[in-house]
Structure 1
Amino acid sequence: MFRLFSFIALFLATNVLAAPKSELWDFWNISDESNAQVISHQPWQQFLDRYLVTEGENTLVRYVRVSSDDKQNLKRYLEQLASIDPRTLNQAEQYAYWVNLYNAITVDLILDRYPVKSITKLGGLFSFGPWGDDVITIAGQTLTLNDIEHRILRPIWNDPRTHYAVNCASLGCPNLQTQAFNAQNSNALLDQAAATYINSSKGINIQGDKATLSSIYEWFAEDFSAQGGVMAHISQYRPEVAQFKGKLDYDYDWALNSK
């Protein structure tokens, strides 16, 4: 029995540390730049307006206060997005579509199991969180949260700022944005989210000759290589970091982003 539990602990630890690679799912790498269709994300915006609150460095979700009607409205919003084939949209609309979809699904998963102390408690017996679970079907394809982030968003857009856009319902994560993404505001929101996170203690906390960085920068270091690496990327938003020559450590808080 002890050996069994030891194996389980090792299995879970390995899965925590082994972040998924960016691997393109070719099916989704299509767009129609001539399509001027605009997807409404107003239902998601209404949810954010009602249930997000900022405390210190964190933007928190008041899960306990979400009404039954708003839970159903969120599910209807997801059904609305699932009825759209995003490949017919232009890339700017697609990016907003996938980010909002990811974040809304994550909140919906938490609400279905609330109260829960951490998103890592969701998923199957041997799962560290729900990211590998089938969560939605779009254009005849069944997707997981991992698919959306690591097989669509990361490889198609190759923008490391995507890590500041998708939210994993945890305190260590970049905050869930108070605005829904759309084709017009995505770039500004990404820069704002990056600057906010990097200038917070959960992004990088410097104490003397030691800096504790978010584990995001360890898990996905390769995504920042095109910008000269993690520290070069961080320095764009926090210039004094460029002079730091001390020891680097990594940390991440998986506690639920709950109010």
Structure 2
Amino acid sequence: MEPCRREEKQATIDNLPLGLDMKEVPANGYLVENLWNHPNQLSEEMVCCMRDIFLFLADPSKTSSEHIASPCSPQGHLSYSSLTSFLDSPALTSLGRSPSLETDHDSEIIIRDTLSDPYKVPGKLEWTKSIGPYSAAVEVAWFSVGKKELEYAAIALKRFRMLVEQLASVNPSCMSCNEKLAFWINLYNALIMHGYLAYGVPKSDMKLFSLMQKAAYTIGGQSLSAAYIEYIILKMKPPAHRPQIAVILALQKFKISEEQKQYSIDHPEPLLSFALSCGMHSSPAVRIFRPENVSDLLKSSLQDYVQASVGISDKGKLLVPKLLYCFAKGVVDESMVPAWISQYLSPEQAAIVRTCSAAHKWKLLGARSFSVLPFDTRFRFLFLREGKSPSSPA
């Protein structure tokens, strides 16, 4: 296994775009080409950069998110051993030739700010005034890329390209447990967002898994896909709330080298279910994870998701999203699910749940006091507001 590298190393890409200033200094004050030696800050910058690309492409004047438009999905590999960046990918080329760009209605990303109910479902009552941090989330609910958006992407992704290229010089085996955990969470979310831009919005679970296998970065000389990061590096179990992907994983065999074993976290972390976003309506929000707060933020991610995603139906039943239900079943008996959920609710929310449960006497009727909502696979990213920019490396 290669020893930990701490000396400075000049990174190169053969087809680096002309006119790119390698000494570009971002707003937070440190040089982007040195971040390979600070992998956590590198991963934080990648999430911020990809988030900013999505948000910059948004047209706030548009409000409809009923339809989802997908960019053309190219064949190929997002690994920087083959596709050096989205800037050079077939996705960019094919979008430039798309007939849809000749219409009067250019495509754009749609965002909505200050969501009162980001997981709104039919039959759910407006049951509280506050749902926690998700009420201030920004939603990207639909996207395609038009001519002017391509012009912006070509510039913005130069910076992102510099960040991704540095991953080849990172050695995750040198990181502490918390450093690994924060690094891989951020990297996974950035890679999924990058994959959506390059390959388009998948129309099914099978196509999503295909995207997760194609979308890959070269990290420390190892080409690692989003699927590999999620299920091998982060040791996630097959998702019970996504049965089709669970079946695919049962038939999938990942080859694991000794070096890649050193990249993995030491123990499975169940709360990752509320930190990793696959870009779908029922997914948790994207946020920045740092080594110094990763454990606390994972706990907060569960609580924030609970407060934002559960609700009360017009018949007085607790509405529980399938992602949360499957997680809760691994912790408590099914009959205790409402009580377990209530501990993560705000006092106002918990009081309403208790009142509805007492009023309807579900147990006496032989029916459970909650309903499970199906996992909603419509495209959507939620971004939680950050209190500060990524920390500068020492």
TM-score (normalised: structure 1): 0.65
Higher strand share: 1
CA 1:87–1:199 in structure 2 vs 1: closer, same or farther (change >3 Å)? same
Taking the aligned partners of 1:88 and 1:73, their CA distance within structure 2 comes to: 26
Any residues of structure 2 matched to 1:96-111 within 5 Å, and which? 96-111=182-197
The alignment's C-alpha RMSD in Å is 3.8
Alpha-carbon distance change, 147 to 113 in structure 1, aligned in 2, over 3 angstroms: closer
Match of 1:250 among 344, 368, 373: 373
Q: Is the 8 A contact 2:40 2:291 kept in 1?
A: no
**Residues 1:161 and 1:139: Cα distance change in structure 2 (over 3 Å):** same
Report how far residue 233 of structure 1 moved: 5.0
Cα gap change, 1:37 to 1:70, in 2 (>3 Å):
closer
Q: Residues 136 and 187 (structure 1 numbering): CA distance in 2 closer, same or farther, change over 3 Å? A: same
Match of 1:168 among 278, 282, 287: 278
8 A Cα contact 1:75 1:108, kept in partner: no
| Count of residue pairs brought into register by the alignment | 216
**CA offsets, 1:76-110, max 9 Å, x none?**
32332343121111111111110011001001011
CA contact (8 A) 2:325 2:372 kept: no
**1:237 is aligned with what amino acid?**
Y
Quickly say closer, same or farther: Cα 1:140–1:74, change in 2 above 3 A: same
Distance 1:136 1:93, change over 3 A: same
Larger Rg over CA atoms: 2
Q: Does 1:145 align with 2:145?
A: no
Q: Which amino acid in 1 is paired with 2:48?
A: Q
Q: Contact (CA 8 Å) 1:171, 1:256: kept in 2 or not?
A: yes
Q: Which residue identity lines up with residue 40 of structure 2 in the other structure? A: I
Structure 2 partner of 1:7: none
Question: Cα offset for 1:185?
Answer: 3.0
Distance, in Å, in 1 between the alignment partners of 2:222 and 2:336 is 34
Task: Say yes or no: does 1:183 pair with 2:291.
Answer: yes
Aligned equivalent of 1:59:
138
Note the residue ranges of structure 2 that are not aligned, 5 or more in a row. Answer: 5-36, 56-110, 119-136, 237-265, 358-367, 383-394
Which deviations, in whole Å up to 9, do the C-alpha atoms of 1:158-180 show, x marking residues without a partner?
33321111111112111112xx2
Counterpart CA distance in 2 for 1:224 and 1:82 is 39
Spell out the pairing of 1:59-98 with structure 2 (5 A cutoff).
59-61=138-140, 64=145, 65=149, 67-98=153-184
Q: Secondary structure at the match of 2:320?
A: strand
Query: How high is the TM-score relative to the length of structure 2?
Result: 0.46
Distance 1:87 1:93, change over 3 A: same
Share of identical aligned residues, percent? Answer: 23
Q: Secondary structure at the match of 2:291?
A: coil
Go from structure 1 to structure 2 and tell me whether the alpha carbon gap of 1:123 and 1:137 turns closer, same or farther (over 3 Å shift).
Answer: farther
Among residues 291, 316, 324, which one is paired with 1:217 in the alignment?
324
